[in-house]
Every structure is written in structure tokens, then in C-alpha cells.
Structure 1
Amino acid sequence: MPDPRAAVETDLLRPTFGTRLRRYFFTGLVLAAPLAITASVTWWFVTLVDGWVRPLVPAQFWPENYLPFPIPGFGVVIALVGLTLLGFFAANLVGRTLIDAGEAILNRMPVVRGLYKSVKQVFETIFSQSGTSFRKVGMVQFPQPGMWSIVFIAQEAAPEIADALPGEGQIGVFLPCSPNPTTGFFFYLPRSEVVELAITVEQAAKLVMSAGLIQPSEVARLGRHGHDEPVPAAPQAP
């Protein structure tokens, strides 16, 4: 004879219709929301670049003149081709000479000179293949001793800055804010107070954006399409 108590416990553990419905809804939300946000951001970027580039292309070259429907991304393709040709042109002697002449003209403009140099230096630092800026991740004790925060390690302090700071081995770090890692604090501190981590900048950024919900091991595993990828352990604090 079946035990009535076991039947009652089974009924209590069985999810109700409302619980299952709520679970299905959140499962669909988790699947659809990233796709919708990614598609929206991609469409916004493509539309933005098309709006910038299309006025620069003669109307007779627009694909709408030969097809019954518009082709989104035409401006993006033109921009990629144009930037590639510009880089090829700048790689030879004639192009380099013309670019130097143009920069010499910009250097004579008081306001434009400072803006151009600052923006150029930022882009050269970000896209430099040999630089070390923001290619390492570490942790520092912030906002007080005993509390550790993720930082992106920049470069050693320039001599003009290092000479004005006490101690030796000063290094710049950027402490991102959660959930927006593009905002934060930049400061210098002794290298001995920075604990380097064996994770990538992308893994650290996802850790910050998710407020600690997406751990580096999960990022590595998802990057391998479901296969576990071991992440070396972080060094202990001195």
C-alpha cells in the first residue's frame, strides 16, 4: 500500500503551473535579451556608419539604384576598404610625406593641435601591438585595506611623475566601476601593492560588468564552446 505521506511530499516538491510558467518566461528572457541587445547595438552602429559614409559616395554607386531594396552596411564596407587603403597609402614614402605635411599644418593651429595630438596618442596606445597598456589585470586594496578591487595595469610612471612621488616603482592602474567598466579611477601606486592576476582583460571586464556573477573560469569555458579551460590561480598577496 503506498505511503500517503510520500504522496503528499511529492505533491509539495512538484512545481506548480505558475512556477513553471515563470521559469519558462525567464529562460526565454535569458535567451532572447542578449540577442536583441546585440542586434540593436549592431544595427545602430551600421546605421551610424552608413549615415556618415553614404554622403561621401556618389549617388550612382549606391546599390539602391540597381537593386529593388536597400543594403544596410554598404557604408561600413566602404569605410573598411577606405581605412585599409589609407593605411596602405600611409605605409609608403609619398603617403608618409603628405601625412607629415598635414600634421605640420595642424600643429600650427592652437586649439586643434592639442585635440589632435591627444586623440592620436590615445588611439596609438590602444591599438599598439607592442605596448603593454591595459594588457594585464591585477588587484589592489581599495577602498580600504583588506578589501580588494580589480584594476587594469597601465604603464610605469613617467620620470616627470615618478620623481615627484615618494618611493620607487610607481605604476599606473585604472580601477573600473561596476557595471560600466569604461568609468572609474586612475591612480599611481607602488608596484609591490599590485597583485597581478592570470586572467585576460576581457575576463576581468566581464567580471566587473556582471558585478562578480560571471567568474573568469566561466568566461574561459564559454569561450571554448562548453569545454573546460583551466585558469591559472592568482598569486597570493604579499
Structure 2
Amino acid sequence: MKRYFVTGLLIWVPLGITLWVISTLVGAMDSLLLLLPEGSRPKDWMGIHIPGLGVILVFVVVLTTGLLTANILGQRLVKFWEEVLNRIPVVKSIYGSVKQVSDTVLSDSGQAFRKALMVRFPHGDAWTVAFMTGAPAPELACKFDEEHIAVYVPTTPNPTSGYFMVVKKADTIELDMSVDEALKYVISMGVVAPAPRPAVAAEPACKPVIRPKTPVDHNLPG
């Protein structure tokens, strides 16, 4: 009975959490309909509440915004709006930081979170999965003799918190897995391993990569 019960949990727990997350997101988007003027809300002229209309509204608003700002006039309006926000004392700090991060992560030309790596952390005898976020700032890069890269080391099972590190590029190992696969691997605490890649010709599927160990201070704080 214990084995059957655990098997049932493995089926229903992921499904239940998935439905709960979707229901929460849909409910949050549907609440945006309350921002519409009275009389123009779907419930007012349809007589019933239909779940999911908020999702359609958000999709239409985001898509319309993208279409309007894709031309020169729209870009000028966005620039004017950003100049207005940048003059508000508290808002400019929050908006500027969030926009910089979103532009870096979501931009097609950026390198943020485009590669999954292995780096030595938290000491020289251990390895962990990290994500490349780009090149270090010029003020940092000029302090090094060798090429360094900026990486983000996520914590598990909550990858939204982690550590920002600048490490030698030669001391990192690029993984043959997508960022999504690496993220699932981190969130599952190593339980959900990525599917092995097919071996090329007669070469083994995985070759050991030897890297000289960089001396690291093992007496890390608390």
C-alpha cells in the first residue's frame, strides 16, 4: 500500500501544483478586468464571469504595445515616457534597475543566460551549475590579466536567489545542455537529470575535462 500511495502522489502532486500555479496566474490576470470602467467589463454585459478573459486582455495589450512601439514614433513616445519616469526620485531607481535587467535578459543580442556552465563553488574541490550572464564591467575587467566572465550561481530549490560571481573563463566548463535543462536540474536538486546526448560517431558521450585547480580560500564566511 505504501508503494501504491507514493506512486499516486508522484502523479497527483505535480498535476496539482501545476493547476494551482495556472489558477493563480489566471486569477491575477482576471483581476485586471476590475481596472476597466464600470459597464465595459465583460461581466457587466455578459452577465457571467468567464475565467481566462484577463489572460486574453493581457496578451492583446502586450501585443498591441509591441506593435505600436516597433516604429519610430512609438520609440519616441517610449523615450519620452522613460524621461518622465527618470525624473521621479524613487521611481527612477526602481524602473531603471528593472529595465536594465529585463533588457539584458530578454534581448536577443545579449548573452545573459545563454549558456550553462560548471564553476568551482563554494570551494576549489566542488563544482556547481551556473549560468553565464556576460562580460564583467570594464572597471572589474581591467583588474585581471586573464579573461574573466560573469556568472550567476542559483540556489536550490529556489533559483531566484543565488550568487553573482566573476570567474576565470579558463576555470569554467561549458555544458552540453540547454539553459532550461540546467535550470530543471538545479530546481530538482539533481534528481531530474537532462537526457544524455547521442554520441557522435565512435566518440564517448562524455569526455572528462581536466582543469587546473585555482587556489581558493576554503575559509569562507559563515
TM-score bracket, normalised by the shorter chain, equals 0.7 to 0.9
Instruction: State whether residues 34 and 41 of structure 2, in contact with CA within 8 Å, keep that contact through their aligned partners in structure 1.
Output: no
Amino acid at match of 1:124: D
Distance 2:210 2:118 in 1: 9
Task: Answer whether contact 1:90 1:99 (CA < 8 A) is retained.
Answer: yes
Work out which of the residue numbers 120, 127, 130 in structure 1 matches 2:99.
120
* Structure 2 residue 130 is the aligned partner of structure 1 residue 151: yes
Q: Which residue number corresponds to residue 193 of structure 2?
A: 215
**Residue 139 of structure 1 contacts residue 194 of structure 1 at CA under 8 Å; is this kept in 2?**
yes
1:129 maps onto 2:97 in alignment = no
Indicate which of 116, 140, 150 corresponds to 1:172. Answer: 150
CA distance in 2, matches of 1:134, 1:180: 16
Q: How far is 1:109 from its partner?
A: 2.3
SS in 2 for 1:60: coil
* Unaligned stretches of 5+ residues in structure 2: 200-204, 212-222
- 1:68 deviation in Å? 5.5
Match of residue 236, structure 1, among 209, 216, 219? 209
- Count of residue correspondences: 206
- Once the two structures are superposed, the pairs formed by residues 55-134 of structure 1 within 5 Å of their partners are 55-67=34-46, 69-134=48-113
The correspondence of residues 33-72 of structure 1 with structure 2, limited to 5 A, is 33-51=13-31, 53-67=32-46, 69-72=48-51
Are 2:174 and 1:196 aligned? yes
Q: Cα offset for 1:166?
A: 3.1
Cα distance in 1 for partners of 2:91, 2:47 equals 44
- Give the structure 2 partner of residue 186 of structure 1: 164
Separation in 2 of the partners of 1:162 and 1:102? Answer: 34
Q: Which has the higher contact order (CA 8 A, sep 6+)?
A: 2
Once the 2 structures are TM-superposed, how far is the Cα of residue 111 of structure 1 from its aligned partner? 2.4
Taking structure 1 as reference, are residues 95 and 149 closer, same or farther at Cα in structure 2, changes over 3 Å only? same
* CA shift digits 1:200-225 (9 cap, x unpaired): 1111111111111111117xxxxxxx
In the alignment, the residues of structure 1 paired with residue 19 and residue 12 of structure 2 have an alpha-carbon distance, to the nearest angstrom, of 11
The sequence identity of aligned pairs, in percent, is 38
Residue 140 (structure 1) aligned with residue 113 (structure 2) = no
- Displacement after TM superposition at 1:62 (Å): 3.0
Rounded to whole Å, the distance in 2 between the matches of 1:111 and 1:212 is 41
Q: Contact 1:140/1:150 (CA < 8 Å) preserved in 2?
A: yes
Moved more, 89-98 or 36-45: 89-98
Give the RMSD, CA atoms, in angstroms. Answer: 1.9
Give yes or no for contact 1:195–1:235 (8 Å, CA) kept in 2. no
> Are residues 65 and 108 of structure 1, via their aligned partners in 2, closer, same or farther at CA, if it must alter by over 3 Å?
closer
TM-score between both structures, scaled by the size of structure 2? 0.85
Bigger proportion of residues as helix: 1
Report the TM-score, using the length of structure 1 for normalisation. 0.80
